[in-house]
Amino acid sequence: MTFYSFARSVVKSIFTPLFRIEIIGLENFPKEGGVLLCTNHIHNFDPPVVGITTPRPVYFMAKEELFNVPVLGGIVGKCNAFPVKRGMSDREALRKGLNVLKEGHVLGLFPEGTRSKTGELGKGLAGAGFFALRSQAAVVPCAIIGPYKAFRKLKVVYGKPIEMDELRKNRASAEEATELIMSEIHKLITGHKQFSA
């Protein structure tokens, strides 16, 4: 068993009952091939929650500061994460991300770049659009909905892959592609924002 699999099973056994995680739309997740998974960001627990609810291992771009934290840095690195400098202009990280997609893996991104302080969806950075346009990966929107409170339901919703061919053909900008991705995440949030206590 890999460290990723071990960590995933441990976190899943704790988080699933604690946050009463409900997964919606898992049938939309491609079973193979490169996938760019784009998710809203409302809590520090978002990466592990995405990691335990997807059917495939996820490679995350994580802020490089995390890798300098004793113990945590080593764990993050063993969980398929790789560092990116703030602002998504880190060329080495962009190359690494494209390679992850080219090799047929799942690249997990939080397009907002940082956690939302209000819980509302913020503006996405161009990095998500860059990966969407520069690869042939399926682009899957994901919405995490709910308060991270013990025994209150947390929803993780996976949408259908976003049609990007037209944007790729028309040489759309990374910003335009990101706007489309964010609008699809917003639709998932507004369409599923009903809670059970």
Instruction: Please report the DSSP string for 91-123 in residue order.
Output: HHHHHHHHHHHHTT-EEEE-TTSS--SSSS--P
DSSP state of 196: -
Q: What is the mean pLDDT of each run of 10 residues along the chain (197 residues)?
A: 92 97 97 98 95 96 82 84 73 92 97 88 93 96 95 97 94 96 97 62
In a domain, 196, yes or no: no
Helix (H) and strand (E) counts in the chain: 7, 7
In a domain, 197, yes or no: no
Find where tokens 């995490």 sit. Answer: 144
Domain residue limits at 100: 3-191
In a domain, 170, yes or no: yes
Q: How many domains does the chain have?
A: 1
Q: Model confidence over 8-51: pLDDT tens digits?
A: 999 999 999 999 999 999 999 999 999 999 999 999 999 999 99
In a domain, 152, yes or no: yes
What pLDDT is attached to residue 65? 81
What pLDDT is attached to residue 194? 57
In a domain, 183, yes or no: yes
Nearest to 21 by CA among 53, 58, 51: 53
In a domain, 173, yes or no: yes
Q: Enter the pTM of the model.
A: 0.91
Which domain CATH number covers 64? Answer: 3.40.1130.10
